Structure 1
Amino acid sequence: MGLFDFLNKKAESRKSIPREMLLRFLPSGQVVWMPDNTETLLKEGYLGNHAVFTIQDWKSQKIASAPRNIYEVVDQKAYSRYRLMMKGATEKSLFEAERLKRKGLREVTGQVDLQKTLDRPNNLMSWYEFVYGLSTFKDMVGSGYIGATRDGVGDATKGAIREMELLPSQHVVITAGDRANPIKSYHLKTNPEVKIAVENVCQIRHFDPRYDVGMQWLYGLSRLYPARDIIQEYKESTATKVNIFQDKGVRDIIFPKGVTDPGEISVTEAQSAEDNMNRKLTERGGIITNSIELGSIRVGFSPVEMGILESQAVTKEDFCALYHIPAEVIGWGDKATYSNMDQFVKQALINSVLPELEQLKDRLNEWYVPSYEDTKQPLNNQGQKFVIDFDHEYFPEMQQDKKALVDWLERSPVSVNEFRAAIRYDEDPDENANKPMIRNGYKFLEDMGIESLASGDTSMFEDNDK
């Protein structure tokens, strides 16, 4: 084999890199068509199905109400570990994640420019409205889109982002780019002449495995797409329910409570009671009185009709499962009690809300924050100087059990300020407040000659407690 044959073979192998295989379907500049059923799912799911709307409304409200803060990164390693722990957060791991957050981040209030646009994304929407809509679009359509207006001079893709618009996801059209940049631009179906540069759009999408049709996976997968049959089933059962009540109405057997022998009431007395009750029920207003306590049994539905009515309750639970939210949170389950309701809500927050907040903050930190020059770290450091994060302990159900928290802190070699921060007290300015301590009168580690425990190794205490 000659030298040139080897070079030709090497050049040939480059054509098989994954991105080229994924993007071979469409040439640059060609429109990527949105899946046909996108608007149908939005109309029949969110707008036409009260069960879907109720669940989505609960979730979007929680996401939009989570407090958003600006933090300075003071320990890059701790911050990186915190981010990793939050990706697969569990109830048990959240305490350690919160500890790493306190170590890696410090809340700041002086970044006026960075905060201003977040507080008021545009002159029509507050942050709450903006995030509520973004979350809803993402679940219903598959992607949420943020359009930016920058203050760059001469180049609309440069400069700090001064305004953010919530784009209607069902109208967004993607134009294919090249191998290096799969997306060339965006535009709206309602205004195709105006192209939006890819640098000025932040797209937050669900994973979409539909790689078999052009590049439609770029739009993301609607959360309702796998539930198309359930939506149709619920729609049909609702229509059937209406027809049942219209055709047959609701019929009850009314009887005196406590009567065990039907022979105690004559046919004449029973007919008189029925006529009297019908007359009272047909009159408008007033109060119905009776001399004896009555009971009732509902009749008139066939087993098939009863099955249709009962299926709606099951379908509601299916919708909740689609969102990873227990049905008890919405009020449809039968396992909720006063004592365990907080646990159901906590489960919904961890499994449904926190992952969305994590994705939102990651995209804003990648796209929005770097547009401001003063947010960048000096050249000798890595990462950004400032980042956006959410306070998940804002939700009462996510707050640590104070008794269990204090018990854990007392068993760990933490400083006074770490203890105070964990229970959300202000920092103590005393110079000794940052030195690790252990129980046994709360002595400083350095005074006991065991400074090695400052790293957080509590194994010796765990052994002694057993």
Structure 2
Amino acid sequence: MLDKFRYKLATALAPGMGQALTAGRLNYLITGRAVTVLPADSLTYMRAYVENDIIFAVQNWKAKKIGACPPVLFQVKDKKKFHRYLELRKKKDDPSAQRQAKELKEQALDPVDSHRILDIINKPNPKQNRAQFLYSLSTMYDVLGTTFVYGNRSSSAVNNGQIQELWRMQEYGMQVEGSGPMTMPTQFRCVYVKDPIPADKMLTLQRFNPLAEANSLFDWGMSLLEPLRLSVITKHQSANEAENESYQNRGPRKLIFPKEGATLDEFDLEQIQKVQDNLDKKLAKGSYNKVVANSVALDGIDIGSSLVDLNVNESYDTMLEKVCAVYGVRKETMASGKQSTFNNLTEARKYSLTDGVIPDLNLIYDKVYNGFLVSSFNTDKETFHVEPDLDFYHELQEDQKAKAEYLSMLPVTSNQLLEAFGYEPDANPLMNIPMIPSGRIPITDFAADPNQDDPTQNDGTYQDPKKKP
């Protein structure tokens, strides 16, 4: 109860929060428009991200992966094929659809090496580069469930309406006006921006929030950390307290006392301390595997608990597994040094990328870049499209050795082999002859005359290539 009060008090005292709440209430009284601000409990998740090393490690890994992926810009040359390509691209589990999408992509899109759009993506604002911008965007989207992107649009006659800068706006103190269950926001107010921000200059990214109808916060998504509030956030704090207490008590210790057929209760503390000091002196407080001769029989009892006794280590491992499950990340990715028996770290990272990173990466590119930035540059004459370059992730690339072994069993041409590994085909006609896996012999050497009644009989037209004429 006290912790909840502290969090709510800290939220109320956060910079700008008081002004935001006051302005929001006054605005509602004056204009009658509904105003929502960030829920007070959100500070709990912000503190958990900063103070919980398990949550920070997983979030940091994911955000870095998202920020590192470079963009690829295309100009659309066939809009019909382009829309068909977008539909096929969504069928990730259909190999046939993916092959068709690859073919349509080459027919519908032309790569663009240099453009103002790429400049803005790589340097969205004077204070951040692409990696920093995406890192902060991904982090706040996960930790708070909601983040805001401000697009600074040009007002010049030449570039009217085109976005020239992208900024992630401060979530705390942000007021969303005029929004409801079926209505879009009319404007936004930020504590460090004097004038209200028009809705066409602001983009909201929010996660699905099943509690929105209960608390009428339709513009605020649910934090990824909400399901971890009790099982990880609270438990992690208790585990830290137990660990600190164990270290303060210097772990488990053995209390030594004279045996002499007596019990511990028959000795006073002064006698026990003298025996302990005598043993410490003989053992030199650090000597191990040393035999000490003593004139009196001794006995001892264990005092205190170790981290193993308290199951703290097992608790940390369980909490890591729960956090990774929420983030869609394999636990082995975050504990590779500890999991000595896990030999396929590449597979763990591959699953972590496909399940935990790429879905949010595609969402950011679809909403922030294509839907917000790129759309401000699109005209009737020119249409652009940007995608993340997933070839950047080496974990997602095909196993070249396994690919070569598989192709060696198929009757493919030499040019097909070259193209399969990214090389240009050869103009020699012989390179287009299918090769049988048996020693890579041209298939024409095994062909029989189609007019021959019995292919097993040689009419003299077939010459054995191994025999000399």
- TM-score, structure 1 as length reference: 0.68
Is the contact made by 1:82 and 1:97 (CA closer than 8 Å) also made in structure 2?
A: no
Given candidates 360, 369, 374, the residue that maps to 2:374 is 369
SS in 2 for 1:216: coil
Query: What residue identity is the alignment partner of 1:137?
Result: M
Q: Equivalent pairs: percent with the same residue?
A: 22
Aligned counterparts of 1:357 and 1:171: Cα–Cα separation in 2: 27
CA distance in 1, matches of 2:241, 2:167: 38
| 1:71–1:314 Cα change, 3 Å | same
Matches within 5 A, 1:238-387: 238-251=240-253, 275-279=281-285, 281=286, 300-301=304-305, 306-331=310-335, 337=341, 339-363=343-367, 364-373=369-378, 376=379, 378=381, 385-387=383-385
**1:149: Cα distance to partner?**
0.8
Would you say 1:36 and 2:40 are equivalent positions? yes
Residues 236/242 of structure 1: CA separation in 2 closer, same or farther (3 Å cut): same
Which aligned pairs between 1:72-111 and structure 2 lie closer than 5 A?
Answer: 72-73=75-76, 79-80=82-83, 83-84=86-87, 87=90, 89=92, 97=98, 100-101=101-102, 103-105=104-106, 106=109, 108-111=111-114
Matched with 2:165 is: 163
Q: Residue by residue, what CA displacement relative to the aligned partner does 1:313-369 show, whole Å, maximum 9, x if unpaired?
A: 211211111111111111179656463111111110110011011101111211111
Deviates more, 1:388-397 or 1:172-181: 172-181
Q: Distance in 1 between matches of 2:96 and 2:389?
A: 13
Question: What are the within-5 Å matches in structure 2 for residues 122-137 of structure 1?
Answer: 122-137=125-140
Decide whether aligned partners of structure 1 residues 107 and 423 sit closer, same or farther in structure 2, where only a CA change above 3 A counts.
Answer: farther
Instruction: In structure 1, give the amino acid aligned to 2:175.
Output: V
Q: Where do 1:64-213 residues align within 5 Å?
A: 64-73=67-76, 79-80=82-83, 83-84=86-87, 87=90, 89=92, 97=98, 100-101=101-102, 103-105=104-106, 106=109, 108-153=111-156, 159-177=161-179, 181-188=183-190, 190-191=191-192, 193-213=194-214
1:53-89 CA distance string (max 9 Å, x none): 1110000001111121112345656655654565574
Structure-2 separation of matches of 1:429 and 1:197: 58
| CA distance in 2: counterparts of 1:118 and 1:414, whole angstroms | 42
* Count of aligned pairs: 376
In structure 1, the gaps of 5 or more residues are 1-26, 254-269, 282-287, 293-297, 379-383, 444-466
| Cα distance, 1:110 vs structure 2 | 4.2
Larger radius of gyration: 2
Aligned partners of 1:31, 1:413: CA distance in 2, in Å?
A: 67
Greater shift in the superposed pair: 392-401 or 213-222: 213-222
Post-superposition Cα deviations, 1:171-199, rounded to whole Å, max 9, x if no partner, equal 432112478742111222x2364311111
- Change in Cα spacing, 1:350 to 1:388, as seen in structure 2 (3 Å) is same
Change (3 A) 1:424 1:333: same
Alignment gaps of 5+ in structure 2: 1-30, 256-275, 292-301, 444-469
- Could you tell me how far apart the structure 2 residues matched to 1:415 and 1:81 are? 30
- TM (normalized to structure 2)? 0.67
- 1:209 alignment partner AA: P
In the TM superposition, what whole-angstrom CA distance separates every residue of 1:84-107 from its partner, at most 9, and x where no partner exists? 5655746xx589637734641456
User: Structure 2 CA distance, aligned partners of 1:200 and 1:437?
Assistant: 58
Task: Please state whether the residue corresponding to 1:237 is helix, strand or coil.
Answer: helix
Preserved contact between residue 89 and residue 101 of structure 2 (Cα < 8 Å): no
Is the 8 Å Cα contact of residues 29 and 184 (structure 1) preserved in structure 2?
no
Once superposed, what is the RMSD of the aligned Cα atoms?
A: 4.1
> Residues 74 and 104 of structure 1 are in contact (CA less than 8 Å); yes or no, is this contact kept in structure 2?
no
